[in-house]
Amino acid sequence: MPADTIIAMAAAIAIPTAIAVLVGLLFVGGRAASPAGGDMVVTQRGFSMSRPAGRTARPVARSFVPKGYLGWVERQIVLAGRPPGWSLDRIFIAKPLLMALFGVIAALWVIGDPTPVRVGLGVIVIVLAFFVPELLIRGRAKERQEQIQLALPDTLDQMTISVEAGLGFESAMAKAATNGTGPLADELVRTLQDMSIGRSRSDAYESLSGRVSSIDLRRFTRAVVQADRYGIAVADILRVQAGEMRLKRRQRAEEKAMAVPVKVIFPLVFCILPVLFIVLLTPAVLNALEAFS
């Protein structure tokens, strides 16, 4: 039997099987982790992984992958809000399956015309496929943290108004969480749930700062913990923090607006101006050539 036929038959079996397994691993049957189900623990040296409840990634990943890399992936999962179906087990099982799937596809493509360019592109595709789960979870984590950063000033304004109207701090937080939408409201709800099951306020706020990457939110949680410890009025802290975060949000927007002309220079120089010169100078060059001929 020819080799091309054998490879085609193997691909016809491997590709649907790999796709079905990937769908089952990443999107079916997963649950988001509960507050007690494996969280990032804040220590004096930074963030560390606690033991997740139930099944862990130890049999699959922790035996072969460096602990620092495992911690980074777990950190990205936490920053992404522990989406359903995304766990260390599933990610590290999906990586070799994706690599094998695209390896078969790249092999079929290279066999059709085995040139060095195709071989190089096939290797690049296989390597990129191996890192697809990390890229997906990192993109989701970055998007979620940006949403938290954008919603923070408005949420603090709502809490400030509620506290000045006479509500307690936790009541104001609960009101802002129930009236709000998005990942920041979910994190506030989880913080309130942590305090309702008996965790101290400082521990709940430290856990909140460990689940986000926003420096402003971490600064706010530290200020609230210190205010609770030293008896400082929370309303004053909320007012000051909300004003600072509004100012920083405006400064970040101005910074991005000022960076736009610099980013436009490269496509302008390398893409637009050459085409413009070709369109404008081609008739003149053709006329000159006709005149000298």
Of 40, 49, 48, nearest in space to 79 by CA = 40
Q: Is the pLDDT at 43 greater than 60, yes or no?
A: no
Model confidence at 256, in pLDDT bands (50, 70, 90)? confident
Per domain, the residue ranges of the chain are: 3-130, 149-248
For 75-113, the pLDDT digits (tens) are: 888 888 888 877 777 888 888 888 888 888 888 888 877
Q: Locate tokens 């010169």: which residue?
A: 277
The arithmetic mean of pLDDT across residues 226-235, rounded, is: 78
Residue 51 scores a pLDDT above 70: no
> For 186-194, what is the mean pLDDT?
88
Between 1.20.81.30, 3.60.130.10, 3.40.710.10, 3.40.50.880, what CATH number should domain 149-248 receive? 1.20.81.30
Q: What are phi and psi of 177, to 5 degrees?
A: -70, -40
The pLDDT of residue 258 is above 60:
yes
- The label of the residue with tokens 């080799």 reads 3
pLDDT tens for 108-118 read 888 877 788 88
pLDDT computed for residue 30 by the predictor: 44
**Which residues are registered as beta bridge partners of 41?**
48
Tokens of 147: 């949403």
- What is the chain's mean pLDDT, rounded? 76
- Distance of alpha carbon 233 from alpha carbon 216, whole angstroms: 19
Q: Output b/e per residue, 208-223; b: 16+ Cβ within 10 A.
A: bbbbbbbebbbebbeb
The closest alpha carbon to 192, from 181, 207, 179, 182, belongs to: 207
Q: Which of 170, 158, 171 is nearest to 241 (CA)?
A: 158
Decide if pLDDT at 6 tops 60.
Answer: no
